[in-house]
Copies of this chain bind each other. A is one copy, B any other.
Amino acid sequence: MKRRALDDMNCSIAQTLDVVGDSWTLLIVRDALFDVTRFDDFQRRLDIPRTTLSSRLTTLVEHGVMERRPHESTPARHDYVLTPKGRALHPVVVSMLQWGDAWSSLPEPPVTLVDADTDAEIDPVYIDRNSGKPLTELNIQRRHN
Protein backbone atom coordinates (compact mmCIF):
# COMPACT_ATOMS: atom_id res chain seq x y z
CA MET A 1 0.00 0.00 0.00
CA LYS A 2 2.69 2.46 1.06
CA ARG A 3 5.00 1.18 -1.66
CA ARG A 4 2.39 1.72 -4.34
CA ALA A 5 1.63 5.21 -3.06
CA LEU A 6 5.29 6.25 -3.44
CA ASP A 7 5.56 4.59 -6.82
CA ASP A 8 2.53 6.55 -8.00
CA MET A 9 3.88 9.97 -6.99
CA ASN A 10 5.16 12.18 -9.82
CA CYS A 11 8.31 12.99 -7.82
CA SER A 12 11.83 11.66 -8.34
CA ILE A 13 12.48 11.67 -4.60
CA ALA A 14 9.42 9.53 -3.91
CA GLN A 15 10.50 7.20 -6.73
CA THR A 16 13.89 6.81 -5.05
CA LEU A 17 12.28 6.18 -1.67
CA ASP A 18 10.11 3.53 -3.28
CA VAL A 19 13.32 1.58 -3.97
CA VAL A 20 15.58 2.49 -1.04
CA GLY A 21 13.26 4.13 1.50
CA ASP A 22 13.99 1.45 4.07
CA SER A 23 16.87 1.56 6.53
CA TRP A 24 18.02 -2.03 6.02
CA THR A 25 18.04 -1.56 2.26
CA LEU A 26 20.32 1.47 2.44
CA LEU A 27 22.68 -0.30 4.86
CA ILE A 28 22.91 -3.20 2.39
CA VAL A 29 23.71 -0.73 -0.41
CA ARG A 30 26.29 0.92 1.86
CA ASP A 31 28.13 -2.37 2.42
CA ALA A 32 27.81 -3.34 -1.24
CA LEU A 33 29.41 -0.04 -2.29
CA PHE A 34 32.34 -1.04 -0.09
CA ASP A 35 32.67 -4.39 -1.82
CA VAL A 36 30.68 -6.75 0.39
CA THR A 37 29.13 -9.36 -1.92
CA ARG A 38 28.25 -12.49 0.05
CA PHE A 39 25.00 -13.20 1.85
CA ASP A 40 26.80 -14.36 4.99
CA ASP A 41 29.02 -11.27 5.06
CA PHE A 42 26.02 -8.92 4.77
CA GLN A 43 24.26 -10.92 7.46
CA ARG A 44 27.14 -10.81 9.92
CA ARG A 45 27.99 -7.13 9.38
CA LEU A 46 24.41 -5.94 9.64
CA ASP A 47 23.29 -8.43 12.29
CA ILE A 48 20.06 -8.64 10.30
CA PRO A 49 17.59 -11.57 10.39
CA ARG A 50 18.31 -13.89 7.45
CA THR A 51 14.74 -13.75 6.15
CA THR A 52 14.83 -9.93 6.20
CA LEU A 53 18.14 -9.85 4.36
CA SER A 54 16.90 -12.35 1.80
CA SER A 55 13.75 -10.35 1.09
CA ARG A 56 15.65 -7.04 0.79
CA LEU A 57 18.21 -8.56 -1.60
CA THR A 58 15.44 -10.03 -3.73
CA THR A 59 13.73 -6.63 -3.93
CA LEU A 60 17.02 -4.94 -4.88
CA VAL A 61 17.56 -7.50 -7.65
CA GLU A 62 13.98 -6.99 -8.87
CA HIS A 63 14.57 -3.23 -9.05
CA GLY A 64 17.79 -3.71 -11.02
CA VAL A 65 19.92 -2.23 -8.23
CA MET A 66 21.83 -5.47 -7.61
CA GLU A 67 22.44 -8.59 -9.62
CA ARG A 68 23.03 -12.15 -8.54
CA ARG A 69 26.18 -13.74 -9.92
CA PRO A 70 27.48 -17.29 -9.51
CA HIS A 71 30.20 -17.27 -6.89
CA GLU A 72 33.70 -17.61 -8.36
CA SER A 73 34.92 -20.51 -6.25
CA THR A 74 31.59 -22.05 -5.30
CA PRO A 75 29.29 -21.79 -8.33
CA ALA A 76 26.33 -23.15 -6.34
CA ARG A 77 26.48 -19.97 -4.26
CA HIS A 78 25.87 -16.41 -5.42
CA ASP A 79 27.46 -13.02 -5.04
CA TYR A 80 25.28 -9.93 -4.83
CA VAL A 81 26.84 -7.10 -6.82
CA LEU A 82 25.61 -3.57 -7.49
CA THR A 83 24.66 -2.77 -11.06
CA PRO A 84 25.47 0.67 -12.55
CA LYS A 85 22.01 1.74 -11.30
CA GLY A 86 23.04 0.59 -7.83
CA ARG A 87 26.49 2.17 -7.87
CA ALA A 88 24.79 5.43 -8.84
CA LEU A 89 23.34 5.49 -5.31
CA HIS A 90 26.71 6.50 -3.88
CA PRO A 91 25.74 10.18 -3.49
CA VAL A 92 22.76 9.13 -1.33
CA VAL A 93 25.04 7.09 0.93
CA VAL A 94 27.79 9.76 1.01
CA SER A 95 25.31 12.52 1.88
CA MET A 96 23.94 10.43 4.76
CA LEU A 97 27.47 9.71 5.96
CA GLN A 98 28.30 13.42 6.02
CA TRP A 99 25.11 14.41 7.80
CA GLY A 100 25.69 11.75 10.45
CA ASP A 101 29.31 12.87 10.87
CA ALA A 102 28.20 16.46 11.36
CA TRP A 103 25.01 16.10 13.37
CA SER A 104 24.77 12.76 15.16
CA SER A 105 25.87 12.20 18.73
CA LEU A 106 28.80 9.98 17.73
CA PRO A 107 31.94 11.37 19.41
CA GLU A 108 33.92 11.38 16.15
CA PRO A 109 33.44 10.20 12.55
CA PRO A 110 33.95 6.39 12.60
CA VAL A 111 35.08 6.33 8.98
CA THR A 112 37.17 8.46 6.61
CA LEU A 113 36.55 8.21 2.88
CA VAL A 114 39.70 7.64 0.84
CA ASP A 115 40.61 7.09 -2.80
CA ALA A 116 41.71 3.46 -2.90
CA ASP A 117 44.04 4.25 -5.82
CA THR A 118 45.98 7.03 -4.09
CA ASP A 119 45.02 6.57 -0.41
CA ALA A 120 44.25 10.32 -0.36
CA GLU A 121 41.39 11.48 1.86
CA ILE A 122 38.19 12.44 0.05
CA ASP A 123 36.17 15.45 1.23
CA PRO A 124 32.90 15.37 -0.71
CA VAL A 125 31.09 18.62 -1.40
CA TYR A 126 28.03 19.23 -3.55
CA ILE A 127 28.52 22.07 -6.03
CA ASP A 128 26.48 23.50 -8.87
CA ARG A 129 28.19 22.45 -12.08
CA ASN A 130 26.93 25.61 -13.81
CA SER A 131 28.09 28.27 -11.34
CA GLY A 132 30.75 26.31 -9.45
CA LYS A 133 29.20 27.41 -6.15
CA PRO A 134 28.60 25.03 -3.23
CA LEU A 135 24.88 24.26 -2.93
CA THR A 136 24.91 25.84 0.52
CA GLU A 137 25.52 29.25 -1.07
CA LEU A 138 22.51 28.96 -3.34
CA ASN A 139 18.87 29.66 -2.62
CA ILE A 140 17.58 26.38 -4.06
CA GLN A 141 13.99 26.20 -5.20
CA ARG A 142 12.13 23.86 -7.52
CA ARG A 143 10.42 24.71 -10.78
CA HIS A 144 7.79 22.23 -11.92
CA ASN A 145 8.23 21.12 -15.52
Interface residues of A (CB under 8 A from B): 2, 5-6, 10-19, 21-23, 26-27, 30, 33-35, 47, 85, 88-106, 108-117, 120-131, 135-136, 138-145
Counted per complex, copies of this chain come to 2
A111 contact set on B, CB distance < 8 A: 11-12, 142-145
Taking the closest CB of chain B, its distance from the CB of A22, in whole angstroms, is 7
Q: A15-B100, A91-B98, A97-B12 are in contact. Are A123 and B116 (CB under 8 A)?
A: no
With the chains together, A139 CA to B87 CA distance in Å? 12
Taking the closest CB of chain B, its distance from the CB of A114, in whole angstroms, is 5
Residue of B nearest to A102 (CB): B88
Complex contact A139–B124 (CB within 8 A): no
